[in-house]
Amino acid sequence: MSTIETIEIEDQSSPPFFSKIPVSIERGEGVYCWDEEGKRFLDFTSGWGVTCLGHASPVISEALLEQSRKIIQNPNSGLTYSPTRAKLLQLMWEILPSNLTRIFFSNSGAEANDAAIKLARKVTGRLDVISTHQSFHGRTISTASATGQAKHREKFNPLMPNYRFVPYNDLESLKHNLDPSVAAVILEPVQGEGGVQIPGDDYLEQVSAFCRNNGSLLIIDEVQTGFCRCGPMFAISRTCAQPDFLTMAKGIAGGFPFGAFALSEAVAARLEAGDHGGTYCGNPLGCAVSYAVIRYLLDHQIQANVQAMGKLALQHMDQWKKAFPHLIADVRGLGLLLAVEFQDEKTATQISDLCLAKGLFVRQTQGNMIRIFPALNIKQEELEEGLAIFRQAIENYRPFITGA
């Protein structure tokens, strides 16, 4: 099949949910991938943050093969026990905040967030949930309603009720909105899709204290930031905050569709049989892959690599900001979750197109920003190769260019 045929079939058969890039990727290896014509690309999106160990990782393929030869889905699904699931649960206890001892596996981050919101309302007997402007929590109707971006919400009216929004990193606004009707506050420790917004050092800890004093639960959404994306296993680890729920996905299984949420004993004590479930939740295949990925992250000191590569990337990006102040408004990041904020959307679009033309995938977000979030085990030479392409794109930018 040719690229033209592939694109024609997908365009004719798929709903118009995406404005697709006219590239058909056939295979990948590590941080590289190749299209059907054999052109090589460097991926600085890691499949939107999921291929944390790179493409076609043998860690994942071997876990899939070994487990698929045993069993993929249990009889009676989650009603039967699984040694593969138990093994993953033991490992999760080692990496999660110490107060989060109960864990349920889902298929995605949106499912995990949806469940946490639902259960927080059940446990507290309250209805309202506070989220933040520019947040992103998923595309189900409930999580879209919890997302602090009008473009992801308003075209789906009527939305789920009882959501309130406050500015991110604004303690006074949050405190003002907390009252006895608030079941939970849902926050990302770093806003990813919102433009890599990093809060003040004491923000999450103060939010945690406010929630506790108000009898509200704190849901920390680590779907994008978890599993060493920001350096530590979880971004919340940098703080003394104590979440009641922590939601996970993306890097949890290196690209295999999988997610989870963890909750405290106090919350679990208020739940009962039938409050939640799911056909594929905690299936042995997903659990085996997740265990292999997390084990690799721990055994190969990926946290240290993320911190070193993130520091190196920011050094390069700071040089770009100084060299091109007429184009770049800001650069920022934590670990390997990084953003370049351009002066306007048109500039960001054209530089993103130039990067693609030079063989580099990046992700434009919030109009005028480009997000960089490559595989966590990226090597220095690979990172510098991609950063050099990005800089060349900036250098080659001309205002009159209409496309790459």
Say which CATH number the domain at 123 has. Answer: 3.40.640.10
pLDDT score of 201 more than 60 = yes
d(CA 36, CA 32): 14
pLDDT, one tens digit per residue, over 252-299 is 999 999 999 999 999 999 999 999 999 999 999 999 999 999 999 999
d(CA 223, CA 238): 16
Q: Which tokens go with 166?
A: 């406050």
Cα angle at 191 between 190 and 193, to 5 degrees?
A: 140
| Residue 313 within a domain | no
Q: Which tokens go with 91?
A: 């490992």
Give yes or no for a contact between 219 and 189, defined as CB atoms under 8 angstroms apart.
no
| Residue 4 within a domain | no
Instruction: Name the 3-class secondary structure at 259.
Output: strand
| Residue 25 within a domain | no
Confidence of residue 401 (pLDDT cuts 50, 70, 90): very low
When mean pLDDT is compared across 19-23, 70-74, 133-137, 338-342, the lowest value belongs to 19-23
Confidence of residue 402 (pLDDT cuts 50, 70, 90): very low
pLDDT score of 400 more than 70 = no
Mean pLDDT calculated for residue range 10-21? 91
Mean pLDDT calculated for residue range 109-116? 98
| Residue 210 within a domain | yes
List the end-to-end C-alpha distance of the chain, in Å, as a whole number.
Answer: 25
Question: What range does the domain containing 196 cover?
Answer: 76-299
pLDDT score of 404 more than 50 = no
| Residue 400 within a domain | no
Mean pLDDT calculated for residue range 243-254? 98
Q: Which tokens go with 366?
A: 């919030």
| Residue 350 within a domain | no
Number of folded domains that form the chain: 1
The candidate with the shortest Cα–Cα distance to 367, out of 219, 193, 238, is 193
The candidate with the shortest Cα–Cα distance to 116, out of 286, 285, 249, is 249
DSSP state letters, 333-346: EETTEEEEEESSHH
As beta bridge partners, residue 334 has 337
| Residue 276 within a domain | yes
| Residue 124 within a domain | yes
Residues 193, 225, 16, 341: is their CA dihedral positive or negative? positive
Mean pLDDT calculated for residue range 88-97? 98
Q: Please name the residues in contact with 103: beta carbons below 8 A apart, sequence gap of 6 or more.
A: 89, 92, 96, 260, 261, 262, 263
Side chain identity, residue 129: V
Q: CA torsion 263→266→271→276, rounded to 10°?
A: 0
Instruction: Tell me which H or E stretch contains 58.
Output: helix 58-68
d(CA 344, CA 366): 10
The candidate with the shortest Cα–Cα distance to 88, out of 308, 284, 358, is 284
Q: Which tokens go with 26?
A: 């056939």
